[in-house]
């Protein structure tokens, strides 16, 4: 399971999709693009779309997305079949245009407030960019659909909570230093085991083991466990 680090997010998550030979500023923009594309889209589809964008003449840069020769329709066709690819094409063109001018001058902003001002960027995308592109993993707890589902099933958030409610709930008690690792852990766990349909409860190492409603009230009882490579692979004494 998570100890194997073989979930889609491990191999094709946003942290894997930038061109590592590019300069830092370009990589930060590519991470922003990947985060926007990833919303409501499978990791494999996001990764394939990013490969097509990297194949653009001159690569995936702010200037290349901003240039008039690349129309919104053409960009949408490159993104297809990404979820909401037409809307995301509009957002990406608008983001490239905004970042090209003042006050950004070709730089992806490194604050939550500034990122939230960009078209199509909500809290989840902004927090993901801050973590992956800037190493700021303690700005807020990142909640996608997998994290929301796992947290609700464990009792870490009330049933029916939306992502923002889950984030706000966990931020009141979960130690800030654990936010990025718990979030990443739960994304893969939700992809592989705690699925939306036909969850594999028989594979869940914590199924029925704890009273999670009680556990979540005490910071001192939360402990992450690392695998032999130092990566987080479990929570509260159980490997996920």
Residues designated catalytic: 124
* Cβ partners under 8 Å of residue 63, min gap 6: 96, 100
3-state secondary structure the chain: CHHHCCCHHHHHCHHHCCCCCCCHHHHHHHHHHHHHHHCCCCHHHHHHHHHHHHCCCCCCCHHHHHCCCCCHHHHHHHHCCCCCHHHHHHHHHHHHHHHHCCCCCCCCCCCHHHHCCCCCCCHHHHHHHHHHHHCCCCCCCCCCHHHHHHHHHHCCCCCCCCHHHHHHHHHCCCCHHHHHHHHHHHHHHHHHCCCCCCCCHHHCCCCCCCCHHHHCCCHHHCCEEECCCCCEEEECCEEC
């Amino acid at each position: 399971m998570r100890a194997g680090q073989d979930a889609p997010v491990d191999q094709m998550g946003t942290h894997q999709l930038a061109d590592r030979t590019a300069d830092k500023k370009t990589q930060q923009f590519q991470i922003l693009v990947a985060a926007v594309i990833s919303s409501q889209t499978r990791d494999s589809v996001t990764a394939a779309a990013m490969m097509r964008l990297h194949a653009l003449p001159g690569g995936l840069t702010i200037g290349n997305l901003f240039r008039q020769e690349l129309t919104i329709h053409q960009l949408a066709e490159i993104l297809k079949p990404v979820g909401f690819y037409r809307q995301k094409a509009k957002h990406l063109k608008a983001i490239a245009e905004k970042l090209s001018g003042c006050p950004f001058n070709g730089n992806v902003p490194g604050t939550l407030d500034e990122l939230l001002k960009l078209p199509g960027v909500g809290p989840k995308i902004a927090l993901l960019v801050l973590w992956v592109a800037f190493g700021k993993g303690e700005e807020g707890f990142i909640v996608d659909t997998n994290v929301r589902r796992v947290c609700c099933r464990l009792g870490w958030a009330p049933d029916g909570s939306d992502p923002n409610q889950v984030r706000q709930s966990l931020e009141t008690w979960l130690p800030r230093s654990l936010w990025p690792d718990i979030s990443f852990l739960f994304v893969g766990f939700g992809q592989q085991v705690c699925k939306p349909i036909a969850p594999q409860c028989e594979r869940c190492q914590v199924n029925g083991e704890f009273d999670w409603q009680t556990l979540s009230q005490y910071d001192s009882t939360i402990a992450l466990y690392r695998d032999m490579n130092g990566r987080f692979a479990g929570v509260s004494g159980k490997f996920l």
